[in-house]
């Protein structure tokens, strides 16, 4: 959908910065996903609470929240002060352990009881890499399966997707598996390859049964986002997730829940608390540090204990791993999440916002459903709640794109792609819901025109 820039981004300073940035970075941005077109790419000058201000002084109430890490609010003083105190007194890295490492892990273990042992990482990508390698080290197997529509970071081997473009949804063939982009190592994603990656479809029992029948004994791990934060918060059903859990147990396959997006957001114990179904290994990142770059992976003690510098051990390390910025941010954020009702506030505000948006869609006779928990909900212009990424493909996502660009024009920031959920943070509790309803009403009227 073409970006709408009049009166939103595309101001004088934005244009100058964009023109200049093209000289220095591919597409003029520091990472691909920030490029929204020359006129619409956002340059931020300030962020506080739930409000972003762009370089031309335009304010946005933000539901994008940097792809989800902000759970309390931008520039949360409680977290920022803890980080500043820590690095002022102790510095950022020494390449040695500190007492705070285990303290943070104890916090995670209290909130997420399936974590028995844990290691830190610097990003979701790195946490996924650690979890997958650990699963392979423990099982001695290579093959991995993931789910269509999910995203697990930037390492080559998990950046494969189903090509639904031109694929006949009603056919019983499976879609082609293609890389996210150029430059990836070829042929790592070949379903029938005993070492390759397979893409499954969420909530599809038959596909899961057939996969395990054929490849279960070869599979090191099945890794899924139980609530797909990269496909409109489409959620696994409890029955399907339990079936997956049972099959993994039966075949000695590691079940990895990638909770990089939903961890410490959808509940204190993440998706696993909501479902009551537990993975062998879990990855967490984003909300864990309220925007500071901290991540981790952990799970069963016997599985995690394959990591180490002993002969045959799984290698895990990194210069910046468990640096004091990351650790102190996680310590302060998790302390707030554990001891306050910040997440209950996010749930309440998210529920209110869904009600506002529901009224707007009803007023325009737009068929819609919501999916996922209130702190990270997806909007679907469709009759039924989608069960998987193939269902998303059949929705009116272009109408959603028009609606989203209009919202951005009127000062509501979100990703103009319905695969990215609306993220709620504690600071949204101060926002004016009537204002949101008014701008959403205008945005939808214009989108339907």
Query: Which residues would be at the binding site for ligand PLP (CB under 6 A)?
Result: 67, 123-125, 128, 151-153, 225, 229-230, 258, 260-261, 285
CB of 33 to ligand PLP, least distance (A): 9
Kindly report the length of the chain.
449
Residue 120 or 151 having the CB closest to ligand PLP? 151
Residue 235 or 444 having the CB closest to ligand PLP? 235
CB of 338 to ligand PLP, least distance (A): 22
CB of 27 to ligand PLP, least distance (A): 18
CB of 171 to ligand PLP, least distance (A): 29
How many whole angstroms separate alpha carbon 93 and alpha carbon 220?
A: 34
CB of 56 to ligand PLP, least distance (A): 28
Residue 135 or 439 having the CB closest to ligand PLP? 135
Taking CB atoms, the residue at the shortest distance from ligand PLP is 124
How many whole angstroms separate alpha carbon 129 and alpha carbon 155?
A: 7
CB of 190 to ligand PLP, least distance (A): 23
Residue 86 or 258 having the CB closest to ligand PLP? 258
Residue 227 or 407 having the CB closest to ligand PLP? 227
How many whole angstroms separate alpha carbon 187 and alpha carbon 108?
A: 37
With 0-12 / 13-18 / 19 or more C-beta atoms within 10 angstroms meaning exposed / middle / buried, residue 354 is middle
Q: The tokens of 286 are what? A: 């984003």
Residue 125 or 371 having the CB closest to ligand PLP? 125
DSSP state of 314: B
CB of 126 to ligand PLP, least distance (A): 7
Residue 130 or 386 having the CB closest to ligand PLP? 130
Tell me the C-alpha to C-alpha distance, in Å, between residue 95 and each of 84, 235, 318, 319, 385.
19, 40, 9, 7, 48
Q: The tokens of 26 are what? A: 């591919």
For residues 265-302, one letter each, b for 16 or more C-beta atoms within 10 angstroms of the residue's C-beta and e for the rest, the string is bbbbbbbbbbbebbbbbbbbbbbbbbbbbbbbbbbbee
Residue 440, φ and ψ in degrees, nearest 5:
-65, -40
By the 8 A CB rule, do 194 and 109 touch?
A: no
């Amino acid at each position: 959908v073409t970006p709408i820039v009049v009166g939103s981004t595309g101001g004088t300073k934005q244009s100058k910065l964009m023109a200049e940035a093209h000289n220095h970075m591919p597409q003029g941005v520091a990472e691909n996903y920030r490029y929204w077109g020359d006129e619409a790419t956002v340059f931020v000058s300030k962020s506080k609470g739930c409000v972003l201000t762009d370089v031309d002084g335009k304010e946005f109430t933000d539901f994008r929240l940097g792809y989800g890490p902000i759970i309390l609010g931008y520039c949360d003083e409680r977290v920022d002060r803890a980080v500043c105190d820590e690095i002022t007194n102790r510095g950022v890295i020494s390449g040695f352990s500190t007492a705070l490492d285990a303290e943070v892990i104890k916090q995670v273990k209290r909130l997420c009881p399936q974590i028995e042992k844990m290691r830190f990482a610097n990003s979701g990508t790195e946490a996924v890499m650690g979890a997958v390698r650990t699963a392979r080290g423990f099982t001695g197997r290579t093959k991995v399966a993931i789910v269509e529509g999910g995203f697990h970071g930037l390492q080559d081997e998990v950046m494969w997707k189903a090509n639904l473009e031109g694929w006949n949804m009603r056919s019983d063939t499976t879609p082609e598996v293609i890389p996210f982009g150029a430059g990836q190592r070829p042929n790592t994603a070949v379903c029938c390859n005993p070492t390759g990656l397979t893409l499954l479809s969420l909530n599809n029992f038959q596909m899961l049964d057939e996969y395990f029948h054929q490849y279960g004994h070869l599979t090191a791990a099945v890794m899924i986002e139980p609530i797909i934060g990269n496909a409109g918060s489409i959620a696994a059903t409890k029955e399907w997730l339990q079936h997956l859990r049972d099959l993994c147990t039966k075949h000695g396959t590691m079940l990895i829940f990638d909770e990089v997006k939903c961890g410490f957001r959808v509940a204190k114990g993440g998706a696993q608390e909501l479902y009551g179904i537990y993975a062998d290994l879990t990855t967490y990142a984003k909300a864990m540090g309220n925007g500071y770059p901290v991540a981790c992976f952990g799970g069963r003690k016997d599985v995690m204990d394959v990591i180490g510098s002993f002969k045959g051990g799984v290698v895990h390390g990194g210069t910046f791993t468990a640096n004091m910025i990351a650790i102190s941010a996680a310590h302060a954020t998790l302390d707030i999440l554990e001891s306050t009702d910040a997440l209950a506030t996010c749930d309440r505000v998210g529920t209110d916002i869904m009600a506002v948006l529901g009224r707007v869609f009803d007023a325009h006779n737009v068929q819609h459903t919501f999916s996922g928990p209130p702190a990270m909900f997806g909007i679907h212009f469709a009759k039924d709640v989608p069960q998987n990424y193939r269902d998303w493909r059949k929705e009116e996502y272009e109408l959603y794109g028009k609606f989203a660009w209009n919202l951005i024009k009127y000062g509501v920031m979100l990703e103009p792609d319905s695969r990215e959920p609306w993220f709620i943070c504690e600071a949204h509790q101060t926002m004016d819901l009537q204002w949101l309803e008014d701008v959403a009403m205008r945005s939808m009227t214009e989108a339907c025109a």
